[in-house]
Amino acid sequence: MKHSFIRLSATTCVLTLLAAPLSTHAQVVRDENTCFKRVASDMVKIHDEWRSRLFGSRKDKDGTIIALTGGEVDEVRQGIFEMKGRMTSEFIEPIMESYRVYRCRTLAVCEIAARSFDVDGGDIDVKLLGCAERTVERYGECYFAGEAETTGGSGRQQDAATNTLQRCQQLADETLAGERAVLRLAVAYDAGYRSLLQLAGMVDWMLEGFPTETVKAISNMVNMLGKLHQIPCFIGQCDNPDTDSLTP
C-alpha cells in the first residue's frame, strides 16, 4: 500500500510538471513588446531576402543558407550585382523592381499589425498603393482587444496599439531610408568597378593588339614601295637617259 502511494504520488508529480509548461506555452503573451518583436522579426526576414537578391546567398559549412551581407534566407540565389558581362545600366530595371517589392512588403508589416489589434487570428487582404494585393495571416501577438476585455484596461491597450504602430512605422521608414543609401553606394561602386574593368580591357588591347597592327601596316607599305619598279612607265621622264657624254 505504501509503495502504491509512492508510485501514485510520483506519477501525479510527473504529470503536473508536464502539464504546466504545455498550458503556459499555449497561452499567447500579448503586449506591446511582444507585438513589436514579431513586427521587427518579420522586417528582418524581409530585409535579409532583399539583400540576398541584390548580393546573392550561399550555403555555409553547416548547410544553412546565408545572405552574403548576413542573415538567413530560404534559398540559394545569384544576386543582381553578381552578374558578369553586363553594364550597370542594365541592372537599373531589376533593382528598381526588387526595391519596390521590398518596400511593399516592409510597409505591409505595419498594416498587418494595425489590423490585428481588434481581431484575433484569421487571414486578411493587404493592398497598399503601388503594391500587389497579398493575403496574409494576422499577428496573434498583436491582438490587444481581448486583453482589454479581460483586464478592463481598454485605454491602456489602445495606447499600446498606438505606440506599437508608431514604432513600426518609424522602423520601416528608417530601414527603407538606410537601404536606399546602401543601394546608391552599391550602384556607384558597381558602375565604377565595371567601368575600370572595361578601361583595363581596352588598355590591354592597345598594348597587345595595336603595336601588331601598326607594324603590319608599315611592313605592307614597305613591300608596296619595293615593288614600284615593276610598274611599266609610259611618260617621257621614264625614257632612258642620254649617256653619250659620259666616259667609261
Whether 56 and 83 have beta carbons less than 8 Å apart is answered as: no
pLDDT at 28: 55
Q: Which amino acid is at 84?
A: K
For the chain, the structural domain boundaries read 27-205
Q: What pLDDT is recorded for position 19?
A: 38
CA–CA separation, 181 vs 161, rounded Å?
A: 30
Q: What is the pLDDT of residue 160?
A: 85
Q: Is the pTM of this model over 0.75?
A: no
Angle at 20 between CA 19 and CA 23, to 5 degrees: 85
Question: DSSP H helical segments within the chain, as ranges?
Answer: 2-26, 32-55, 92-114, 145-151, 154-226
Residues of the chain with pLDDT under 50: 1-26, 150-151
Rounded CA-CA distance 44/97 in Å is 20
The whole-number pLDDT of residue 62 equals: 87
Query: What pLDDT does residue 86 have?
Result: 86
Q: What is the pLDDT of residue 21?
A: 39
User: How much is the pLDDT for 196?
Assistant: 81
pLDDT at 48: 95
Write the pLDDT tens digit of every residue in 91-126: 999 999 999 999 999 999 999 999 999 998 899 999
